[in-house]
Amino acid sequence: MAFVLVGTAGAAYLYLQHLNDNITSVSDDGASTGGFSTDKAINILLIGTDKRTGSGNKGYGDANSVGHADTTILLHVSKDRTNATALSIPRDLIVDVPDCPTTQEDGSTKVIAGTEGVRFNTSLGQEERTPSCTVRTVTELTGIQADNFMVADFNAVKTLTSAVGGVEVCLAKDIDDPDSHLKLSKGTHTIEGEQALAFVRTRHSVGFGGDLSRIEIQQQFLSALMRKLKSNDTLTSPTKMLKLAEAGTKALTVDSQLDSIGKLKDLGLELGKLNIKNLTFTTVPVVDNPAEKVKATVVLDESTAPTVFQMMQDDVSFTEVKEKAEASKDAAAAEAAKRLKGTKSAASEIRVQVMNGGAPAGSAQETLSWLQNDEGVTKSENAGNAPAELSRTTLEYDPDQADQARKLADIMGLPGTALKPGKSVENSQGLPTMTLTLGKDFKGAGVSLTATTKVPDTVQKSTADKVQCAK
């Protein structure tokens, strides 16, 4: 929607003021980063609620729903804008919802107590939780803090699809779902309005009949919508663009950092740089909840979910897109890789002092114990806190200690960029020693800091340029 609003930038001033008046915004309560930046990767949290407000919507299921986070997608757009990842978060995923400071109507702040071991969708609506509570829950879950958020209800699906002139979807079989009211024959259809809403709500008639199957059909729908929005048929039609701008500004609720057409347009300019063939849809890896006899909820798949989260944190593409890089960056990367090449000393020869430069309290001692007891780095010592906090872990060494540095990097799982040639310091015995400073990226003793560059084979993913048929 932000991308579409770029097309209205040249419209008359009064019309833009009208669009501004359409926008509904709510406080982020300090849960987000404070807004996206044009020179950094962008993380937008998209929240679809099950609130049944609006004409005809009370006939769907729970007419009294407070509006839970039933369809949630964390959209990560790479720093160089060559690729993006849209990560769906299952509504029935068991998570811990943290305490949530929430601004009240009178301007005061109320802290809504968190709850442990509950469905993700209760992060919104339940106990009067606002979208900022969902933002905090996603940060707790993934380690990724959203820059901004957008919230849409049932009406958004209906009005946006009608404004764009319908979205083309494909079915691999006939579907007649009395719960979502979707009745379509096998093949390709252009859907909008009520029919589009029925399509994204259906689950009993596709896949395994659960929420994970519905997520897949929603991803297929959003891919089709993206293709339509980026098509010449839409971009060259002033009528469609204005209809979309009107519908979108009325249908979406945004955070207070996106509360104007100008801000949405700026975001749209960044999103418009993306080629949808490099927009990957995927889902948080999960498994059935082992604590339940009747399977109703899911829990994180600890074997793959951390890798997916880390790849997004490290701005790693889920497609084969080649990252843009200036010559200087290429040279720096080559130099960093070269630091890891060469002979390595024995672990027993490594002399290193460990300092805490932003890692969790106790990390230096934890790492020291692990190095000495598990890895044989006996000539190591705890040097306390570093003079300043670092965002990344570093290993500073004298050129004469390069063999030791390469070995310690191998043991720690440090990337070449973490190795910093410099001067050695003296340890407690007066001998030259390297300095390992644990930064904010430190994940624990024995946890590699080398960025993962390949999506696990078991992770489901698809790209927005591919037409898929719901099965």
Domains and CATH numbers, the chain: 2-323 (3.40.630.190), 336-438 (3.30.70)
Q: Supply the mean pLDDT for the chain.
A: 86
Alpha carbon 40 to its chain centroid, in Å, reads: 14
Distance CA 258, CA 246 (A): 16
Q: Which helix (H) or strand (E) holds 150?
A: strand 148-152
Cβ atoms within 10 A of the Cβ of 235, count? 16
Alpha carbon 80 to its chain centroid, in Å, reads: 16
Mean pLDDT: which of 274-278, 314-318, 402-406 is highest? Answer: 402-406
Res. 300 pLDDT band, cuts 50 70 90: very high
Backbone phi and psi for residue 37, each to the nearest 5 degrees, phi listed first = -125, 145
- Say what the pLDDT of residue 424 is: 87
CB 249 within 8 A of CB 263: no
Q: How far is CA 106 from CA 103, 109, 133, 204, 391, in A?
A: 8, 9, 19, 44, 38
Alpha carbon 275 to its chain centroid, in Å, reads: 18
Query: Which residues on neighbouring strands pair with residue 71, listed in sequence order?
Result: 48
Is pLDDT of 18 > 80? Answer: yes
Torsion of CA 380, 383, 387, 388, to 10 degrees: 60
Reduce the DSSP state of residue 460 to 3 states and report it. coil
The residue to which tokens 């104007």 are assigned: 260
- Say what the pLDDT of residue 74 is: 97
Alpha carbon 336 to its chain centroid, in Å, reads: 28
Res. 323 pLDDT band, cuts 50 70 90: very low
Is pLDDT of 327 > 50? Answer: no
Q: Which helix (H) or strand (E) holds 373?
A: helix 363-374
- Please state whether beta strands 182-184 and 167-171 pair in parallel, antiparallel, or not at all (unpaired): unpaired
CB 222 within 8 A of CB 228: no
Q: What is the pTM of this model?
A: 0.77
- Say what the pLDDT of residue 53 is: 52
Question: Which residues lie below 8 Å from residue 332, measured CB to CB, with a gap of 6+?
Answer: 417
Alpha carbon 64 to its chain centroid, in Å, reads: 30
| Average pLDDT score over residue span 106-113 | 93
